[in-house]
Structures are given as C-alpha cells and as structure tokens.
Amino acid sequence: MLGLIRAIPQLLSETLSAIHIDRASIQGEFGLSDPADTGRIFGQISPFIYTPFNRKISVAVKPNFETVGVRGQAEAALHFTPIRLVIPTMRLLWREFVVRS
C-alpha cells in the first residue's frame, strides 16, 4: 500500500494534461496580526497577482490591514478527457498489484 501512495505524484503528473481549465477566478483578502507582515506578504505575492498568466485566470487578492484572517472565494470551470485518466491509472494499478505480487 505504501508503494501506491508513493506513486500518486507520478499519477497526477501523468493525468494533469487531461485536465483543462476553461476559466478560473480567485478573489479574496487577508490580514495578519502585524500590519507590517501583511504588507510584506502582499508585496511578495503581488507579482503573481498582477502578472497575467492567462486570460482565462483572474486573481484579485488584497491586503486587509485592520482585520486578522483570510476570506475569499474561488470559482473554476474545467473539462477533462476521461480516457487519458484511465490509462495511467490502470498502469499504476497493474504495477502495484500485479507486478509486485
């Protein structure tokens, strides 16, 4: 069973190409107990927020210097090709349960 758990990252890497993002939207705000830390973290993540990776993905995160916590919402629409998920899964199961037994 441990071998199966160790093989999951490889399975994910083999099946990620079968999953396609049609659109995604992330909106939120965060605040830490020290406003200086909030500003520092926001400065570090700003390149990821304001660099357009793709027109299909929208990210809007802002700092909240008055309240501690994280609030937000995410929405995504995606599609996948089932047969491209089946083949790597069957290969993993074959390797773990047939070849090893």
State pLDDT tens for residues 11-39. 888 888 888 889 999 999 999 999 999 99
Burial class (CB in 10 A: 0-12, 13-18, 19+), 31: buried
pLDDT digits (tens, 9 = 90+) for 36-54: 999 999 999 998 888 777 7
**Domain coverage including residue 34:** 2-99
Tokens representing 18 are 């079968």
pTM: 0.59
- When divided into structural domains, the chain yields a total of 1
